Structure 1
Amino acid sequence: MKKLGLLLIVVLLLAPAVTAQDMAHEPWTCPEGYDGQTLSIFNWSTYIAEDTVPNFEEACGVTVNYDIYESNEAMLARIRQGNPGYDIIVPSGGTVQRMAEEMLLIPLDMEMIPNVANVIPDLLGAAYDPENEYSLPYQWGTVGVGYRTEVFPDGINSWDQVWEHDGPVAWLDDRQTMLGIAHLFLGNDPNTTDADEISAARDYLIDKGGNVVTVAADDGQVLLERGDVDIAIEYNGDILQISWDCECDDYAYAIPDEGSNVWIDNLSIPVDAPNPELANVFIDYILDAKVGADLTNYIWYASPNQASIESGYIDEEILNDPAIFPPAEQVAKLFAIIDVGAEAEELINNAWDELLIFLGQ
């Protein structure tokens, strides 16, 4: 957890200060020999630019099948049952570690991924995959509070404003993150494996859940946009996307002062992938400076791509937005999820299921 926090501070101090340089850039070209092949991608919803896949299909002469999931747990359960044919998945850090330990990932072929040189060096070698044998960074961001500005004209700066709000609230269906937030208030390690502490976090959330109308599977931003809720605990980019789409100031995103979750999502190849060679080519494509910048400009998450940042391809509005690149003093209060092991995972799953029952979800 400390390692990830320090690495992100380096990124945050670097990225907003970069001045657009308009560096010359050769368009990415696909290696020969893939014409007519198929690549199958399993990614989070609302997590890719409109032209990312079509441009790859055109460059390589291939067909891409694209499915979505709403949580690491859902993706992991699907792969554990036997890979139904996916070549690319996008697991978060702790899930990479867990899948590697369960032999559910195959090693990347770095000789096929020369654009690994574009990744911010301090984001390589994270604790969940020290040699980057199984993963390379895709995007990174935070979990925080999306809210309707007409309800909170002075903003939100504390989780207590979420717990105490007398209007409808949506929580994120991410058990380790939500329990981790409770642990912050209880003075426990957000990645604790202690049964009593996990139970205490469950009870804390039960006590604070009186205003919860839904536990949203990564679509809290939709509920916020429809006016179904005043607050949605969500990923930062999802909230920023609806603000961008409406070209309005009706929604805002905040990281509460007490802290929250920071994450890195990664590109990985699951075991039994039908086309791992083309999967490596796709990873290299995503790590291209222009492709990576276009991705960030569309989905509003922070890029791990140093070449994208230095090239001037990423919009200055994004580089200078503290909701995307938070200041170092906020980063110091963020926690990263790690793999807690099978025994603690079962405790967390049971605690979360009990919480959902209590909330009527």
Structure 2
Amino acid sequence: MKKLIAIFVGILAVCAVIAGLNHQMNAKTTSNEKKVLNIYNWGDYIDPDLITKFEKQTGYHVVYETFDSNEAMLTKIKQGGTSYDLTVPSDYTVQRMIKSGLVAKIDKSKLSNYKNIDSRFLNLSFDPNNDYSIPYFWGTLGIVYNDQFVQADQVQHWDQLWNPAFKKSIMLTDSARDMLGVALITQGHSMNTTNYSELKSAQEKLNLLMPNVKAVVADEIKMYMKQNEAKIAVTYSGEASEMMSYNKHLHYVVPDEGSNMWFDNIVIPKTAKHKAAAYAFINFMLEPKNAAQNAEYIGYSTPNKAALKYLPADVRNDKQFYPAESTVKNLEVYKDLPLKVIGNYNDLFLEFKMSK
């Protein structure tokens, strides 16, 4: 009997040891899980040194994945297979995610650096009061020209692109909203119009531009402009910045009569599991020196007003990327239009491209 009791006591002791080890392992796993931050961002859209700095400062381990379009990101978030703690949608996609209940409300009391954001870039149409999003980078749609072939005063306004002197000289970005938007501006209409007759009129105006069009492309614009193979391009400020870093003859203009102003924004998906880490990272990125470092690395415009003083003077004073208020006030942010209207934009633009 004593032998049986001894064996039983021994078994209990072993079970206690195993239970203790399991508890330690579970505690360690739970601790590790709490120190993780899962970020889903555009490719090459943050200075890697800032991720390293954040990890060292906070002890969080960053798991970083990338996407190449708002649509790809939105699909993955909707599927819910991966619980991302932060992602970076563009303006109209933020609006779409809010409508679909995919993002959590932002508790601004947890963001001591929120005050550093320029008020001009808050409370915009896609997220009034910034209840769900924090501005990350912003930019514009404009005109890139090569000063070896084009005088600056020839391309200060959208209407000048229709100049017969530019026959087969212009590269257009392959985007229905942007290119119909340019034509809409020349006719005094909003880039967010839902009026079909206005869209049809814009298409007709674009058709008149076709003799001047060299090609309607996407990323290829950068190659053509860098290598002096095209005189003019309609493209985005971020793309322009990259081109200009390769070719000193290139310049960027945002017509002051109006254009698109786009925003990429940080949001917290509703499925996020590490919200404390998410808030820590957002606040870290809103710290002025970190925001300035990121803007220098990426080359896009920062909405962080307090960061500007840490940027080189030639960057923060560059009207190509930080345009005057007189220009900014005429810029429009895209709205998430009804699917039927988006279909009208796409169909009319396709007809325009097929006419070439």
- For residue 280 of structure 1, what is the aligned residue in structure 2? 279
Q: Which runs of 4+ in 1 moved over 6 A?
A: 32-35
The alpha carbon displacement at 1:276 in A equals 4.4
- After superposition, the CA RMSD in angstroms is 3.0
The residue type paired with residue 111 of structure 2 is I
Q: Does 1:320 align with 2:317?
A: yes
2:12 maps to: none
Query: Do 2:39 and 2:84's aligned partners in 1 also have CA atoms closer than 8 Å?
Result: yes
Letter matched to residue 124 of structure 1: L
| Aligned equivalent of 1:48, options 32, 42, 46 | 46
CA distance in 1, matches of 2:76, 2:349: 20
Give the Cα separation in 2 of the matches to 1:215 and 1:154: 24
Q: CA deviation at 1:88?
A: 2.9
Q: Does 1:132 pair with 2:130?
A: yes
* 2:190 match: 189
TM-score by length of 2: 0.78
Structure 1 residue 348 corresponds to structure 2 residue 349: no
Aligned to 2:230: 229
User: Does the 8 Å contact 1:146/1:251 carry over to 2?
Assistant: yes
Structure 1 regions of 5+ residues with no counterpart?
1-31
Question: How do 1:144-163 and structure 2 match up within 5 A?
Answer: 144-154=142-152, 156-163=155-162
Moved more, 289-298 or 220-229: 220-229
**Sequence identity (%):** 30
Contact 1:39 1:65 in 2 (8 A): yes
Q: Assess, with a 3 A threshold, how the Cα gap between structure 1 residues 167 and 79 changes in structure 2: closer, same or farther.
A: farther
C-alpha separation in 2, matches of 1:181 and 1:166: 18
**Gap change, CA 1:78 and 1:153, over 3 Å in 2:** farther
Structure 1 match to 2:218: 216
The one-letter code of the counterpart of 1:235 is Y
CA distance in 1 between counterparts of 2:56 and 2:223 reads 32
- Structure with greater Cα Rg: 2
1:160-186 CA-to-partner distances (Å, cap 9, x unmatched) read 443442244332233323222111122
Q: What is the rounded CA distance, in whole Å, between the counterparts of 2:129 and 2:331 in structure 1?
A: 24
What TM-score, normalized to structure 1? 0.77
For 1:303, the aligned partner's letter is T
Aligned residue in 2 for 1:97: 95
Residue pairs, 1:1-361, within 5 angstroms: 37-43=36-42, 45=43, 47-59=45-57, 60-70=59-69, 72-73=70-71, 75-76=73-74, 79-80=77-78, 86-154=84-152, 156-164=155-163, 165-210=166-211, 211-216=213-218, 220-244=221-245, 246=246, 249-273=248-272, 275-309=274-308, 312-359=309-356
- 8 A Cα contact 2:158 2:186, kept in partner: no
Shift of 1:209: 3.0
Kindly indicate whether the alpha-carbon contact (under 8 Å) linking 1:177 and 1:337 is maintained by their aligned counterparts in 2. Answer: no
CA deviation after TM superposition for structure 1 residue 353, in Å = 3.8
Aligned AA (1:139): F
Task: Decide which structure has greater helix share.
Answer: 2
Amino acid at match of 2:112: P
Structure 1 position 78, deviation (Å): 5.1
| One-letter amino acid of the counterpart of residue 294, structure 1 | Q
Residue 225 to residue 82, structure 1, CA distance change in 2 (3 Å)? farther
Aligned partner of residue 325 in structure 1, secondary structure: coil
- Unaligned 5+ segments in structure 2 are 1-30
Q: Residue 53 of structure 1 contacts residue 64 of structure 1 at CA under 8 Å; is this kept in 2?
A: no
Are the aligned partners of 2:191 and 2:260 in contact in 1 as well (CA < 8 Å)? Answer: no
Describe the shift of the 1:86–1:250 C-alpha distance in structure 2 as closer, same or farther (beyond 3 A).
farther
Deviations 1:288-332 (CA, angstroms, capped at 9, x unpaired): 1111011222333332213213xx312211221111221233234
